Amino acid sequence: MLDTQSNWLTTYLIEVKGSKPDVSRYQLSMFWMGLTLGRIFFSLPFVHVHNRIGNTILLSLLCGVLLALWKVKSAPAHWALAAFAGFFAGPNTPSILSIASTHIPPDLRAMVLSTIIGLSLLGSTLGPLLFGISINKAIRLDDLPLVTIALAGLCAFAFWAIPPKDKAC
């Protein structure tokens, strides 16, 4: 999800939203700044929030920001929306690893976490590649926010598919 969004964001902003190439790269850096700040900011409050509820809230906010990015035509708004998209998407990866490490029995933890990281790297490679292949065939570049929203929905489904801690261990 993050790599598809970040790898295609500059092209999306140039071709769909009309940003200049140099400006779109700075807008991408706003996405990464938001991602970093989101990981820092949400690491403390989310200790007190249930994993599933917190991740669902963050992914819902991310979807709202992506819908705004899809609809809004204002160049200054694209700067802020890119930052907020990163801000709400940032805690996603640490949350997945946190949920998996607390819900998996200790004897399976190393194998499961290695599998999750391996599949994540595979998705990080294939996601942007498949999006690029499918542009102008099945979807358009205009649909990047919708594709990211669909991927966020899959993440939310994965969060809720993990059994509760008392049933997992």
Q: pLDDT of 18-67, one tens digit each?
A: 889 999 899 999 999 999 999 888 876 666 666 777 788 888 898 999 99
Tokens of 82: 């890119």
2-168: CATH topology: Growth Hormone; Chain: A; (1.20.1250)
| pLDDT on residue 49 | 67
User: How much is the pTM?
Assistant: 0.81
- pLDDT, tens only, 119-154: 888 888 888 888 888 877 777 888 888 888 888 888
Tokens of 93: 């990866």
DSSP 119-142: HHHHHHHHHHHHHHHHBTTTB-GG
CB 51 within 8 A of CB 95: yes
Mean local confidence (pLDDT), 93-101: 78
| pLDDT on residue 116 | 84
